[in-house]
Amino acid sequence: MNSMLSDSVIALALSSVLLIIVLSADPVLVLENSFDKFKRVKDLEEEIKDLFRHGCFGELANYLELNSPRLKDYLNEIYERVRSKGITGLRLLVRGKVVYTCGFTDHGWVIRVVIPSSKGIYLLEFFVCGD
């Protein structure tokens, strides 16, 4: 009887050690991090889709088409609109050449928006903070 009790205690102690080892990896934190990232991407997705729906990229394409002087101001407006969603910077490229940059474009991951025009394909890159 005594031996059974001590075995149980040891088993519980070993289980606790295992539990501590597992919890030290903090699965909840892993889940929380993934969920946070999901929420950030979801917000960003809705914001960018909103930009599409409200014709921001259509208007931007018209400015590009017409070489409008309003282009830079408009890109800044777009940047101001999305920066609260984790966007650190914007970069506009045509044929691999940078046409305009705003914010920070040296880190983060990139969402690329393709804007066709009669002069070629423009790429607007959104730099998102995080990995």
Interaction site with other proteins (CB under 8 A): 3-4, 6-8, 10-12, 14-15, 18-19, 22, 27-28, 30-31, 34-35, 37-38, 41-42, 44-45, 48-49, 52-55, 57-62, 65-66, 110-118, 121, 123
For Cα atoms 129, 55, 107, give the angle at the middle one, nearest 5 degrees: 15
Nearer CB in complex with other proteins: 58/80: 58
Contact between 94 and 122 (Cβ < 8 Å) = yes
Nearer CB in complex with other proteins: 54/80: 54
Q: How far is the CB of 74 from other proteins (least distance, A)?
A: 12
For 6-44, give the DSSP string.
Answer: HHHHHHHHHHHHHHHHHHHT-HHHHHHHHHHHHHHHHHH
